[in-house]
Structure formats: structure tokens, C-alpha cells
Amino acid sequence: METPATQPSFIGLDLGTSGCRAVAIDGSGRELARAAVAFPDPRRPAADQVEQDPELWWTGTRDVLETLARELKDRPPAAICVDGTSGTTLLTAPDGRPIGRALMYNDRRAIAAATRIDRVAPADSPARGPGSSLAKLFHLYDRRRVGPRMLALHQADWISGRLTGCYGVSDWNNALKLGYDAEHLRWPNWVRDLVPKGVALPQVVAPGAPIGPLATRVADDLGLPRTTRVLAGTTDSTAAVIAAGVRHPGDAVTSLGSTLVLKILAEQPVTDSRHGVYSHRLGDAWLVGGASNSGGTVLRQFFTNTEIVQLSASIDPDWPSGLDYYPLPAPGERFPRDDPQLAPRLEPRPRDPARFLQALLEGIAAIEAEGYARLTALGAPRPTRILTVGGGAANAVWTQLRARVLGVEVMAAEQREAAQGAARLALGWQQTGSHPEHPART
């Protein structure tokens, strides 16, 4: 039997727009250590253009892993799993050297490329639209063609490649917006025919599948064991759902961050590109999701975080405000309504700031209810419980108010960080010998 001093740890690495976070857990899922570093703000050369130097990701990765290595001397990491922002795309040389900056998940400059894709892509493909990885690939290729062979990679793919020296591997979830068919586990012919001959599509494996050990030099530089395995990752939102602990069809996760993101576990995939609804594969199940433009950004247009906390304390969540808002930060909505001209509805505005805040919270909750109704109408199961992640999960009054509006059990998830979900993927590989994304079936 292993003694505590020889038991391994498992690292989850979460790469975002603003920084890099890492969490180490033990074999029971208990947190052992954590580290984080911030990134400079991405470059925004023009409207709808958001880009970042990938070397910033690597510098942040090195910093957090070096910190964890010092804290895990007696708990050598057995595996590392990386998650990254969905749709953040870059082109590299075959040896992994980036060709220019990466286009971030919210970069939407690839309008001409999206038009090319729309001519041949199925109507329900997540690869449609200027924000997709496939559109970004074409945009980067057309402007940065520098060699006969290039690799198309995502943020998590590239960091996994830097760790192992093995480039060109992606996962079911990151590859979805590149056009990968996660249901039949293949690249569709229309994608292969459309991608330029000089660009290699990544090999796609299950999240949590082993890619290889740390490259020897990388392991030695970071102070980690050479035996540490690097596993295929996932997207940040999927990792957050894994951290939240979904298990059965009907388990739902609402992210109350800057925007409102809904996910529900289903037995079959559901897609509706018009409303931005698509499904990430999670083992033998599917995460069906959609994202509204409403969310915390609207609240912060009127209140500071401190004011939200103070005013929430005076709200009775069981007594409706009587106001009917549709809170948006600006005109335009994508889900649950597809209306780029939809105007925010924030009138009449009461003099009492607590009542105004309550009406905003109720309005976001109403959009959440409408969103889950939309997913159910498209074929997803009705929510049986809703776990909450993001900054809004800490607001107990909002949680009670949402439960009233939604008519279902609502609770804050015990674990809310994507890095925790990535760490659980790493732990699951050790426990199963493959990948752990297998929620229990009912």
C-alpha cells in the first residue's frame, strides 16, 4: 500500500483571456495546491478584433507549474490536463512555432471566411459564423501564409504540445467549432475538402486521453517528474461543468458571469445554429448549451459588486418586484431569442435602488427560464436541478429568487473553477485508465 508521501497528485490547468490558473488535487479530489498568474489585456486592433501572443500562455503555464512543483515535492504529479477558451485559434509551424498571434474566442473579424463556410456547411454546424475556429483558420491562413505546412490548433492544444513536444492533437470539445463531428468521431468530408492543403487538421481524441509524457527538458526545467503524463484537454466551459459535478440527464449548470451561459446534460446531442445552441460530448452523454448576452455585465452598468451585495440583503426573493425587464448591455440577443436588434427593456426604473436591482435579477432569471425552455423544446431534457457557477453563484438572494422563477432546485456548485474540472479529468484517467467523462446513466 502506498504511503501518503508517495501518493500522486493531479493537475488541472485553466487558460483564459485574463490569466492562467492551476489546481492540484489528490486521489480523493481534495485540493492540495493552487497557483495563478495574470495576462496583459489582449490586443484589440479594431472593432471585433481580439488577439493575443501565445507565448504569454506559455510563460503563464511555466510560472504556475513551477509554483506547484515546489509545493508538490511529496506528491509527484501523475498527470496534467489543460482546458482553454473555446474557439481561440492559432496556426503554427509543424514544430509548434506560432505563426503570428492567436485570434481569441471573441474575435469576429472572419466574416468573409464565414461566408465561404456557410456555402457548404450543414445548417446546424457549430463551425458556422465568424467566431468559429474554422472561420479563424481561413482568416489566418489567407493573411499569414508562410510555409508549405501548418497546423491548426486551439489554445489548450498548443499548450499541451509545448508540454509534450507533440503537436497536432486536439479533443472532441475544442475541435467542435473547427467542424469536427463528435457524434461520429470523424472529420466530415466537407471540412477536409474546404481546408487548404497546406494546413493539417489535428488528430482528435477524447478529453482526458493520454497524449504523452512531459518532454524531458520541460519536466526538468519545471521541476516535475519526467513520468508526468499530459492528457488531452477540453474547453473552459466544459471543464467548469465537470467541476460542478453533473451526473445524470437533466442536471443543469448555469454560469452567472459576465454573460449568462446554460448547459444541461442530455443523452442525445441537440443543435440549433440559429440560436447558437450546440452540444459538447461528455463521455457517452452530451452537454447541450446556449449563451445569452444578458448577465453580470448589465448589473455592473448600474451597480458595483459591493453595492450588489449590500442591496441584495434588503431584497425579499419571495416577493416579486412587479417589473418586467429584459436586461441586455446593448441591443442584440443570440439566445434564447435570435434577434440582433432586440433592445434592452429596463423601464420603468423605480427610485428604490434595491427594487431596481431586484428587477434586473428577476429579468436575468426570466431569460434563464426561457433559455431552458428553449433547450427543452429543441429536445433536451427538462432541468431536474440547476447547479450554479460564476460570480453570481455566491449571491444567496439571487439563488432563492431564481428558484422561484425557474420552479426547480437551484444551488451553488461546490466546485466552480474550470481548473478543478481539468484536474478531475486528470484524476479520472488514473482511476479508469482512459478518460473519465462518463456521467452515470439513469
Q: What is the pLDDT of residues 233-281, one digit of tens each?
A: 999 989 999 999 998 999 999 999 888 999 999 999 999 888 889 999 9
What is the rounded distance in angstroms from the CA atom of residue 209 to the CA atom of residue 318?
Answer: 46
3-state secondary structure (DSSP) of residue 46: coil
- Which residues does 413 contact at the CB level (< 8 Å), separation at least 6? 243, 244, 245, 253, 387, 388, 389, 393
| Amino acid 257: pLDDT | 84
In 3D space, the residue among 393, 435, 431 whose CA is nearest the CA of residue 411 turns out to be 393
CB atoms within 10 A of CB 37: 16
Residue with cell 499530459: 230
Any idea what DSSP says for residue 119? Answer: T
Query: What end-to-end distance do the CA atoms of the chain give, in Å?
Result: 35
**Strand positions, DSSP E, 85-209:** 89-92, 102-103, 150-154, 169-171, 199-200, 203-205
Residues of the chain with pLDDT under 70: 1-5, 145-147, 430-442
pLDDT at 416: 83
pLDDT value, residue 379? 96
**What three-state secondary structure class fits 257?**
coil
Beta strand 285-292 with 278-282 is antiparallel
Give the residue from 214, 204, 286 showing the smallest Cα distance to 65: 214
What 3-state class would DSSP assign to 83? Answer: strand
pLDDT of amino acid 436: 44
- Options 3.30.420.40, 3.40.50.300, 3.90.550.10, 3.40.718.10; CATH for 4-238+418-432 is 3.30.420.40
Domain ranges of the chain: 4-238+418-432, 246-412
**In degrees to the nearest 10, what's the CA dihedral of 40, 46, 47, 52?**
-30
Say whether 246-412 and 4-238+418-432 share the same fold.
Answer: yes
Q: Provide the residue count of the chain.
A: 442
Which CATH number is correct for 246-412, 3.30.420.40, 2.40.110.10, 3.20.20.70, 3.40.50.920?
3.30.420.40
Give strand ranges (E) for 184-275. Answer: 199-200, 203-205, 210-213, 229-235, 251-256, 260-266
Phi, psi of 8 (to 5 degrees): -80, 170
Please classify residue 46 by burial: count the beta carbons closer than 10 Å to its beta carbon, then call 0-12 exposed, 13-18 middle and 19+ buried. exposed
Q: Could you tell me which of 116, 121, 128, 140 has the C-alpha nearest to residue 49?
A: 140
As a whole number of angstroms, the distance between CA 433 and CA 157 comes to 21
The pLDDT assigned to 430 comes to 59
User: Bridge partners of 153?
Assistant: 90
